[in-house]
Amino acid sequence: MDNLAKVYPIHDNLWAIDEAGKTLMYLYAGEKRVLLVDTGFGLTDLKALAASLCPGKEIIVVNTHAHGDHNSGNNQFDTVYVGRMDEPFSYRQMDEEGIRDFWEGFLQDNPRTQGVRIEDWHPGPSRQVIPLTDGDTLDLGGITLEVLETPGHTIGSICLLDRTNGYLFTGDLMLTWEVWGQLESSSALKVYADSLQRLASLQDQVTEIFPAHGVPDNPFGWPLYHLPPRTLTVYAQGTQRIVDGKDVGKPYRHPGSLYVLFEIGGMAYDPKRIGVEK
């Protein structure tokens, strides 16, 4: 099923893995270890892929958050790391109904999954989940990534920052379309805005942002794995305007939710969960 994964070299030691045109993972190699950011749907043999791109290196697996389109390949690894607030949700074994919902919602109509049978798909959790806390670091050998706790899309969402090179891995916190901040697993919008404000304060140190979803035909003409640093300010300011009541969203396709589009991307949210006094 490895034809489902398209690999995009970004730098000498950094690759984006586009799985089924639906979700993005990243491999980032240091001198000793290689970091795998997310495990996607689990349709790809990720160990084999990592071994072919960076042979002989130990793999460290980090989930940006505990959603099934980003952690379903965790069962290919003995240990994964995840933000401490998403750790409780990282042991779920998708039941048959969940598998069918994902298949129909994400994969069924995708040309790249034709020929793949739902029976051949075996998503699952890792045997061991290690929680990450703000300020923790991952040493790849010559490259260090810092964990930033950024509750929002999920309460346990984390970003990984390489301060030396300015690379920021942002999971589902910001995309080229409206991010889901309205989920039960999302924080209050005020908390999401605070996380985005913190990231925006780092904008001068960031050279490239790597999100967990992208489309090749985004309206900006960027590569699908790429967001420019100013996205941080756009998201922080746009979300703060909603929190402050300066912008009110239009009805979203998820009942009870609203959404606002920004210059880049946008935000879907639950108007009952802004998190400030009115």
List contacts with Zn ion (CB under 5 A): 67, 172
Minimum separation from the CB atom of position 154 to Zn ion (A): 7
Output the furthest CA–CA distance in the chain (Å, rounded): 57
Minimum separation from the CB atom of position 65 to Zn ion (A): 6
CB atoms within 10 A of CB 273: 17
Rounded to the nearest 5°, which phi and psi values hold at 88? -60, -20
Minimum separation from the CB atom of position 90 to Zn ion (A): 13
Minimum separation from the CB atom of position 201 to Zn ion (A): 24
Cα separation, 69 vs 63, in Å, equals 11
Nearer Cβ to Zn ion (54/172):
172
Nearer Cβ to Zn ion (44/154):
154
Minimum separation from the CB atom of position 132 to Zn ion (A): 17
Minimum separation from the CB atom of position 35 to Zn ion (A): 19
Cα angle 188-189-194, degrees, rounded to a multiple of 5: 105
Cα separation, 43 vs 262, in Å, equals 33
Cα separation, 22 vs 57, in Å, equals 27
3-state DSSP assignment of residue 198 = helix
Cα separation, 235 vs 145, in Å, equals 23
If you ran DSSP here, which 8-state letter would residue 47 be given?
A: H
Cα separation, 127 vs 79, in Å, equals 6
Terminal CA-to-CA distance of the chain, rounded, Å? 52
Nearer Cβ to Zn ion (177/241):
177
Nearer Cβ to Zn ion (24/34):
24
Residue with the CB atom nearest Zn ion in the bound state: 67
Nearer Cβ to Zn ion (86/172):
172
Minimum separation from the CB atom of position 149 to Zn ion (A): 16
Cα angle 176-177-182, degrees, rounded to a multiple of 5: 130
Nearer Cβ to Zn ion (18/172):
172
Nearer Cβ to Zn ion (131/166):
131
Residue among 259, 242, 157 nearest 198 (CA): 157
